[in-house]
Structure 1
Amino acid sequence: MQPRFLASEVGSGLRRNVSMAVSVVLVTMVSMFLLGLGLLAQRQADTMKGYWYDRIQVSIYLCTANSLQPNCENRAATEGEKESLERQLEALPEVKAVFFESEQEAYDRFKEQFRNSPISGNVQVGDIPQSLRVQLNDPTKYAVVTDQFEGAPGVATVQDQEKVLSKFFSIIRWITLFAVFLAALMAACAALLMATTIRQAAFIRRREIGIMRLVGASNWTIRMPFILEMVIVSGLGVGLAVGLLVALTRYVFNEGFIQIALSQAFIGTSDVWVIAPWMFLGVLSIAVLTSLVTLRRYLRV
């Protein structure tokens, strides 16, 4: 088939079905944008997980004279108990470092973290007990510390940041799954719309197809214009979706959130370019397969 003839057929088909072609572009754009959001949400979760897991600590809060925990017995932790706890922690192979935080240091850190919150004025020195901050070599091994030191002499409570962060990452995973589910529905709609467009195009050009059969045109000669039409419109839809995702990461994350949370780790446009080829490959595969199945059924060539 001559390239000039093929280009003429494709252009003619797109002009005759411009409304359906635009619909395919828009539906493909929305479905791929949702899929891209889901994939980027997962990459953001992985990025933040790597960032935060390096900073996760297990906090062992020590007893004070006002502690209500039964283990404290209404007395503060002694110096001997503190030293014993530090020695035991440093002896564990899972422990990377141990830091002591006094009541004043805990108060200062709280005031800094919640400086813009009205609750900062309700906390006084001593309300947050002194603690041992334990940094682990592997944050997933927090149970080794919590199980061994929960209820130990001088220990009021053991708090692990991983439990809080795991809930946050779990929410992101559910959001990711929901976005991918919506994208799958929209992709199915796009495939159905492609099939409808092809059927309509084949009906409009039924006379031309009949003539091509009479002169001995091959099956691929007849099919190729329809396939290329779907590849073009679906590819355009993916291109628009990728453009939206690039704008989202650039202006929302790189120039928005990162200006507010300077110490956080966010995804960037490079992450969009990582998933973009797979999005193009997936949509183009759907377009080609949908075209082949629809043409086989309705053209009978």
Structure 2
Amino acid sequence: MRFGLIMSEVGNGLRRNISMVVSVILVTFISLTFVGAAILLQFQIGQMKGYWNDRAQVSVYMCTDSSTAGQCNLVEATKSQKAEVEAQLKSPALAGLIKSVTFENHDQVYKNYKTYFKDTTGADFITPAFLSETFSINLKDPSKADVIRESVASLAGVEQVVDQRKYLDPIFAALNAASLTAVSIAVLMLVAAVLLIATTIRLSAFSRRRELGIMRLVGASNRFIQTPFILEGVIAALIGSVLASLAVVSIVRFFVQGYLGTQSLDTPFIGLSEAYIVVPILLVVGAVLAAASASFAISRYLKV
């Protein structure tokens, strides 16, 4: 009987404040969708970092007869100089850090250049001799790239040593900025949702002030009085959380896997397993915030 009475009060409260309840649902839905998107973006960034860091190489560019950088002076790197670089890479100090080393001569570098830059203006004027012969090094631990650079950069015939991870840093920085933006918007929306839930509960309590007065006179405890109001906020927020969860799953299913997954992009994408991790987080966050804000609001009202 007690449970039935509480749920009856909850139903009456939701019906009386239907417009405010819809507002709570929408604000919760939007804010938690941003929260879910931010979490998914962090999953995606982590997956991309792991994938590309494992594939990022350290490139040792040898001198050409047109380069002046590094140890170059308009003189092509000699066979002995290239052999010295190779020997250094195979030395005990570096061999343990290196997974594999590939050497590309002028013709091989030119072939790759034509493949990737065939539509670039002026590509036809580039000759094989203009492009540096290259040692491409895959490391066991990409963070040790500085050790390779310091050991090889000063050798004769070396133009420059480039850690390809530096090209990835701006991309990851942009993705992190987007993630922080989503989190910031989500926090603002969550604050708005908390305030809206608190306002809804106070209005609901005000509209039932006569009933609350009677309940107090007959000896109802504050917990018994507060429970229907807290449940109203939790139910509204949970509906918004469920909608946000469906939106997150739909984003992954139809946009990430359905659209991006068909674009032949050489990068891994998150899947539904990551989305299913986010779903319970959204449900818990929605319920806890609603319960806390509703409890605070009705407690303040009953003390007035």
TM-score range, shorter chain: over 0.9
Shifted more, 254-263 versus 188-197: the winner is 254-263
- 2:290 is the alignment partner of 1:287: yes
Q: Among 137, 140, 143, which residue is 1:140 paired with?
A: 143
- Structure 2 partner of 1:188: 191
Q: What's the counterpart of residue 19 of structure 1?
A: 19
Q: How does 1:66-77 map to 2 (within 5 A)?
A: 66-69=66-69, 71-77=71-77
1:119 positional shift? 6.5
1:156 maps to 2:159: yes
Cα distance between partner residues in 2 of 1:113 and 1:251: 30
Output the amino acid matched with 1:295. I
> How many residues were matched structurally?
301
Residue 239 of structure 1 is matched in structure 2 by: 242
TM-score (norm 1): 0.94
Deviation at 1:198, TM superposition (A): 0.4
Q: 1:262 to 1:175 in 2, by over 3 A?
A: closer
Q: Deviations over 1:61-114 (max 9, x none)?
A: 111111132521111111111111111112202112111012222222233334
Measured after TM superposition, the shift of residue 123 of structure 1 is: 4.2
User: Quick check: 1:90–1:98 contact (8 Å CA) kept in 2?
Assistant: no
- CA deviation string 1:106-132 (max 9, x = no partner): 222233334565565564433431100
1:141-196 deviations in whole A, cap 9, x for unaligned? 11111122223211111111111112221222222122111111110010000011
RMSD of the alignment, in Å? 1.8
Shifted more, 180-189 versus 89-98: the winner is: 89-98
> Equivalent of 2:301, from 292, 298, 301?
298
Identity value in percent: 40
Distance 1:23 1:127, change over 3 A: farther
1:96 matched residue in structure 2: 99
Name the residue aligned to 2:172: 169
The amino acid across from 1:83 in the alignment is A
Decide whether aligned partners of structure 1 residues 254 and 201 sit closer, same or farther in structure 2, where only a CA change above 3 A counts: same
- Give 1:16's aligned amino acid: R
TM-score (normalizing by structure 2): 0.93
Tell me how far apart the structure 2 counterparts of residues 249 and 117 of structure 1 sit (CA, whole Å).
Answer: 35
Query: Do the aligned partners of 2:64 and 2:131 also contact (CA within 8 Å) in 1?
Result: no
